Amino acid sequence: MSADYVSPFDERVRPAEPLAPRLADISGARIALLDIRKNRGKEFLDRIELLLREAGATTSRVTKEIFSKPAALGLIDQVATVSDAVVEALAD
C-alpha cells in the first residue's frame, strides 16, 4: 500500500524537513495518539487505535490543551520519549 506524505509545514517559508525513519513493523511499537481537540478527532483516533492494537501495537492517548496553539514543549517531550511513532488527528 502506498501513501502520500503531506508536510504540516509551509515549505514556502521554511526549508523542507527530512522525513523521520519509518517503522519496519507496527507489531510491538509504542504509538501515541494525539488528539488536538478538533471536532471528531476522538472518533477518528478511536478507530485508528482499534486497528493499531489489532496489528500488535501498544497505544497511548495524549491531548493538546487547545487546537489553535502549538503543543506545550512538555507534551512534545513526553510523546517523544515514550513513543516510537505518533498519529495526530488534525481536522474535522
Predicted confidence at residue 21, as pLDDT, reads 86
Closest among 84, 24, 28 to 58, alpha carbons compared: 28
Instruction: Answer whether residue 17 is part of any domain.
Output: no
Predicted confidence at residue 70, as pLDDT, reads 84
Q: Which range has highest mean pLDDT (7-11, 47-51, 64-68)? A: 47-51
Instruction: Answer whether residue 78 is part of any domain.
Output: yes
The model carries a pTM of 0.77
Domain ranges, residue 70:
30-89
pLDDT at 1 over 60: no
Instruction: Answer whether residue 18 is part of any domain.
Output: no
Please give the span between the terminal C-alpha atoms of the chain, in angstroms, as a whole number. Answer: 25
